[in-house]
Structure 1
Amino acid sequence: MKQMFFKFIFLIAFTCIFAACNSNSVNNNKETSDSAKVRQLVYDWNKAFISNDSNAFLILLDDSIQYYGFQQYKSNLMEAELSIFKKYPDFKQEIYGDVKIDTLSKAEAICSFVRRITINHKSLDYPTYLIFKKSLEAWKIVAEGDYISKNDLTNKSNIPKDAVLGDYNGDGKLDYMWLVPPKIKSGNEEFDCVGECDSYIKFSDTSLSLIKIENCIGGQPFNHGDLNKNGTDEIGLLPEWFTSCWSDYLVWTFRNGKWIYAVEPFPTHCNQWEEGVIPIEIDFKKEGYVIIRYSEFSEKTDNWTKSKSVKIIK
């Protein structure tokens, strides 16, 4: 009877140990699998960046990303990152050394690595991190940053989500810009502002002067990249107003410490914006020129959108 009892106890103990080992094995395998997936995603991110692959970014990035201390929408971030290639045609990036997984759980992974960036034949190394979160069995990038600028950037908490990245003064550093609209009167007093109906484009680099836009109650600034090859990103804006579908498109460049129009403001109608027409881009057939797309009223046709090549101020 005692032998039967001890055999029974031994069988239970063996079964428990086997189950525990098997469970640990499954968990370890899953952890190893997730580690491999996340590590590969870092290389996929690097490949998407150097190949200028917007479709790959769409898959890798979450809808909103903490980008070097600031929350950014996916679309804004993609525009900013991919515009680097327009500004620096010789831009190169590589992951130098190994990718380390600092933290790994069922829902989050933090990876660190050295990001080597080469511009104008000069290379700099940045200790970079990517944070992934798992959503519906897919890992998405929710944060990107480096350990050099992290402390400085996180102190700037007054930058809105729709701020746009760019190098607007040519100092080689990325800054943010955003529009500060006027306060609109409420109640029965419609179509009026508290004070002047002027907006201002503001920058995270406080050494940059504000851009004043008169008779403007809103709008989203756009980074057009370096259109005139002077080392700075040009800024575009379609000013909003209470009424009318017509509005001049404005493009600024930074020259000798001041904001000036890169081209003369040109008229646009809401039809061309609804059709997704690009308002301005480099004319690659004519150095120092850009192609602008503007609107011109005509009773003979419904297509009011025209285009022409104009000289851009450098």
Structure 2
Amino acid sequence: MKYISLLFVLNIILFGSCNEVNPKGEKEVREFLHEWNSKHTPIKAEDLKQDYMDVVTYFGAEMTKEQIQLDKIGLFQKYPDLKQSLDDSSITIEKEDGNYLITFTKQITYNEVTEAYPSFLSVIYKNGEFRILREGVTAANTSKNTDLAPTKAILEAIYKANPRLYGDFNGDGSAEYAIVKSPILVTASTTPKGNVGEVKCKDGCTSIIKFSDPAIPSISISDAYKSNLVNLGDLNNDTSDEIGFWNLKDGTESLYVYNAVNGKLLASPITINIKVHKNLKLIDVIKKVGPKKIRITESVLEEDGNWKLKSRVILLD
């Protein structure tokens, strides 16, 4: 009977403490939390990306660590005087399916107003480092400032309305993003065969690629009203990613390959007749084949009136 009682007590101790964090673990988690908080400044916000997993549930929306970094940087651009601090007495740490759930209250001051945001982070310890899996505010949050406590719907609407292409477009080792400012269509005629004919835009059919880094010059593309951006990687070995602009027309798609740093075309536009050559992947159209060498494949109209795919290798400057 004595042994049964002893086992019973041991079970209570073992199972009753399964969600507790040992003192050493709690100390390290607290240190990570304070280090993460210390990066919420205009200068250190650039370093926040390294604290997150590649894809994170951020205020309910699935976002990449690059998107989160830029969202944080954007806060300081909108609120230059923003300051964030932690209420140490509010911090609690629990084990959550092998990870750590940290709840805390952060005090945010901006525009001479201070608000409390009951918040949480879910972090994982991986390869000797803590990384954030989830970030958000708890149900106790009452702030109406959707910049500082955005909803899932707001975040998804922002990124749907303005799709962003991420990459290291200036070669500094950090991510920037690019968006396209498309012209406003006024009219688009239709040919007897049902194809798109003449297209007219307000103030001209010019699309503009804009970058989050103001030091990167914008790129204007004329006769372009519908498009898609792609990150082509570092094609010319200058440590920065090249950017591709697909000019989408009825029956053809043309890929413009730009050096994002200076806005120069690295090759003449690569045109694909999508009515003849269907379902081509990006790697079928352009591929790096060596240092500063790319192979491009495009649709070419032969003398016999047939369209054929032809490839050639280009040496980049």
TM score, norm. by length of structure 1: 0.51
Query: Cα offset for 1:288?
Result: 2.6
State yes or no: 1:262 paired with 2:285. Answer: no
Deviation at 1:186, TM superposition (A): 6.6
Match of 2:165 in 1: 164
Residues 1:252 and 2:254 are matched in the alignment: no
Match of 2:229 among 206, 221, 227: 221
**Residue 204 (structure 1) aligned with residue 216 (structure 2):** no
Quote how far apart the aligned CAs of 1:293 are: 1.1
Matched, 1:309 2:313: yes
**CA-atom RMSD, angstroms?**
4.6
Runs of 5+ consecutive residues of structure 2 not aligned to the other structure: 1-7, 22-52, 71-97, 104-119, 136-147, 149-154, 191-197
For residue 195 of structure 1, what is the aligned residue in structure 2?
203
Shift of 1:240: 2.2
Superposition map of 1:1-314 within 5 A: 64-70=62-68, 101-103=100-102, 110-111=122-123, 129-132=131-134, 160-161=159-160, 162-185=163-186, 191-241=199-249, 244-254=250-260, 258-270=262-274, 271-272=276-277, 274-278=279-283, 279-284=285-290, 287-298=291-302, 304-313=308-317
Q: Show CA shifts across 1:73-125 (max 9, x none).
A: xxxxxxxxxxxxxxxxxxxxxxxxxx961339xxx971055989xxxxxxxxx
Normalized per residue, which structure has more strand? 2
Change (3 A) 1:250 1:100: same
Letter in 2 for 1:65: M
Q: In structure 1, the residue corresponding to 2:263 is in which secondary structure?
A: strand
Q: How far, CA to CA, are the matches of 2:102 and 2:257 in structure 1?
A: 45
Q: Percent identity?
A: 21
Q: How many residues align?
A: 203
String of CA shifts for 1:228-274, please: whole Å, max 9, x gaps: 10111111111124xx312432101145xx21111222322214452
**Shift in Å, 1:27:** 8.5
State the shift of 1:298 in Å. 4.1
Residues 190-231 of structure 1: per-residue CA shift (max 9 Å, x gap): 832111111111111122111101011121111111011011
Gaps of 5+ in 1: 1-17, 33-56, 73-98, 117-126, 134-150, 152-156
Counterparts of 2:222 and 2:299 in 1: how far apart (Å)?
Answer: 21
Give 1:139's aligned residue: none
- Could you tell me how far apart the structure 2 residues matched to 1:280 and 1:29 are? 54
Question: Measured at CA, do residues 288 and 128 of structure 1 come closer, stay the same or move farther in structure 2, by a change above 3 Å?
Answer: same
- Confirm or deny: 8 A CA contact 1:159 1:204 kept in the other structure: no
Q: Matched residue of 2:248: which SS?
A: coil
**8 Å contact 2:243–2:260 — kept in the other structure?**
no
Relative distance call for 1:61 and 1:303 in structure 2 (3 A) is farther
Change in CA separation of 1:166 and 1:68 when aligned onto 2, cut-off 3 Å: closer
Equivalent-residue separation in structure 2 for 1:184 and 1:128 (angstroms): 48
